């Protein structure tokens, strides 16, 4: 990890709810599922199914655990990010020998972070602060259960591909979950920015993840222009190609992802949160899935209206239907609940 900007005071965000930074489509799915009776029980069941403790012990035995003695600079970034986002408990963090720059959050009951040596070596401290904040955002949002669900469904899809009807239905569900997964990554990019509070460092980190560590050979303005050019490729044929390219993708495309974060900053939402105008965790129980669904639908409409892509405009209603489906399922489950004694 190379040296970044000198340490500076950052604004703490006491009691911040993940709803403050979640992409509307991500927030709708989370709010809907949290309102379903038995959600916590399902979370615990999945945690047991994955043998989470043995997974963590494997990392403990085969990688380097981050603390005050080992990778102390990385440890300081985790502590600082947890302080800013007001996490109830700091996750354990491990560095694994791997030249590919990657970071991941594993576990549901006691989530922990895994950073590759390639990531730590490639990013400066402010860029790494953004990536660590991104992973802390996954913890605050509780994304693990959905990611686990998607992994199980992907495994299932490989077994039932020969059943045309069942497979097509499963592929539709997988496409919706992959769309959610991509939006959850956009959410946590915002969390990473809130933890680091350095938009330039966040965009540099995303650019390096796309093109490597030779920062002198790249330019943020030109990188963002790639996303504009990608969206402006407006023929119907190119739109179909773009859609096919997203199949199986669980992360947003790199340049588009950076442009999404820049747009969020430009919208004023980032500064409003820093100014203290954000939802608190204490109010999460009163969150409305229907209101979040309306926000998500409006977000899709705005994105479509702003896009120059022909196919995006043709498929205008699909995104709205995806985000509304979760709300309908939650309503059905609540309606089927037995009355209280």
What are 25-76's pLDDT values in tens digits? 677 766 655 555 555 555 556 555 556 667 788 999 999 999 999 999 999 9
pLDDT at 311: 44
pLDDT at 26: 76
The answer on pLDDT for 255 being more than 70 is yes
The Cα 281–Cα 288 span in angstroms is 14
pLDDT at 315: 47
Do residues 125 and 3 touch, judged by C-beta distance below 8 A?
yes
Q: Secondary structure of 272-305 in the HEC alphabet?
A: HHHCCCCCEHHHHHHCCHHHHHHHHHHHHHHHHH
Query: With DSSP H G I counted as helix, E B as strand and the rest as coil, what are the percentages for the chain, rounded to 5?
Result: 65, 5, 25
Q: What is the arithmetic mean of pLDDT over 196-214?
A: 96
The answer on pLDDT for 21 being more than 70 is yes
- Looking at per-residue pLDDT, the higher value among 308 and 20 belongs to 20
| Burial category of 173 from C-beta neighbours within 10 Å (exposed 0-12, middle 13-18, buried 19 and up) | middle
Instruction: Report the predicted TM-score, pTM, of the whole model to 2 decimal places.
Output: 0.76
The answer on pLDDT for 210 being more than 50 is yes
**Highest mean pLDDT: which range of 90-94, 155-159, 166-170, 323-327:** 90-94
pLDDT at 184: 87
The answer on pLDDT for 169 being more than 80 is no
Q: Which of 49-58, 276-285, 290-299, 304-313 comes out lowest in average pLDDT?
A: 304-313
> What whole-number percentage of the chain has pLDDT above 70?
59
- Looking at per-residue pLDDT, the higher value among 255 and 249 belongs to 255
The answer on pLDDT for 128 being more than 90 is yes
The answer on pLDDT for 225 being more than 50 is yes
The answer on pLDDT for 117 being more than 80 is yes
Do residues 63 and 98 touch, judged by C-beta distance below 8 A?
no
The Cα 77–Cα 312 span in angstroms is 39
| Burial category of 126 from C-beta neighbours within 10 Å (exposed 0-12, middle 13-18, buried 19 and up) | buried
pLDDT at 143: 80
Query: For residue 65, what is the DSSP state?
Result: E
pLDDT confidence of 231, banded at 50, 70, 90? confident
pLDDT in tens, 260-286: 999 999 999 999 999 999 999 998 877
Catalytic residues: 135
């Amino acid at each position: 990890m190379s040296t970044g900007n000198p340490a500076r005071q950052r604004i703490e965000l006491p009691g911040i709810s993940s709803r403050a930074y979640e992409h509307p489509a991500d927030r709708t799915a989370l709010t809907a599922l949290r309102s379903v009776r038995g959600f916590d029980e399902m979370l615990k069941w999945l945690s047991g199914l994955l043998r989470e403790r043995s997974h963590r012990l494997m990392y403990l035995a085969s990688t380097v655990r981050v603390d005050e003695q080992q990778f102390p600079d990385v440890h300081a970034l985790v502590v600082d990010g947890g302080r800013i986002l007001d996490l109830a408990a700091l996750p354990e963090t491990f560095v694994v020998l791997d030249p590919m720059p990657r970071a991941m959050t594993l576990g549901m009951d006691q989530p922990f972070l895994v950073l590759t040596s390639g990531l730590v070596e490639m990013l400066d401290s402010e860029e790494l602060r953004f990536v660590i904040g991104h992973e802390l955002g996954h913890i605050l949002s509780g994304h693990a259960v959905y990611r686990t669900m998607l992994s199980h469904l992907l495994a299932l899809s490989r077994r039932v591909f020969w059943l045309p009807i069942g497979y097509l239905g499963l592929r539709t569900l997988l496409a919706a979950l992959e769309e959610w997964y991509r939006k959850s990554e956009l959410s946590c990019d915002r969390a990473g920015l809130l933890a680091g509070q350095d938009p330039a460092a966040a965009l540099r980190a995303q650019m390096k993840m796309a093109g490597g560590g030779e920062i002198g050979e790249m330019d943020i303005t030109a990188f963002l222009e790639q996303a504009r050019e990608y969206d402006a490729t407006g023929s119907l044929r190119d739109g179909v190609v773009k859609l096919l390219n997203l199949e199986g993708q669980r992360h947003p495309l790199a340049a588009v992802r950076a442009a999404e974060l820049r747009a969020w900053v430009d919208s004023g939402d980032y500064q409003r949160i820093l100014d203290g105008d954000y939802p608190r965790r204490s109010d999460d129980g009163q969150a409305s899935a229907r209101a979040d669904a309306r926000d998500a639908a409006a977000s899709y409409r705005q994105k479509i209206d702003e896009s120059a892509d022909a196919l995006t405009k043709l498929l205008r209603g699909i995104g709205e239907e995806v985000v509304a489906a979760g709300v309908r399922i939650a309503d059905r489950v609540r309606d089927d609940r037995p009355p209280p004694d």
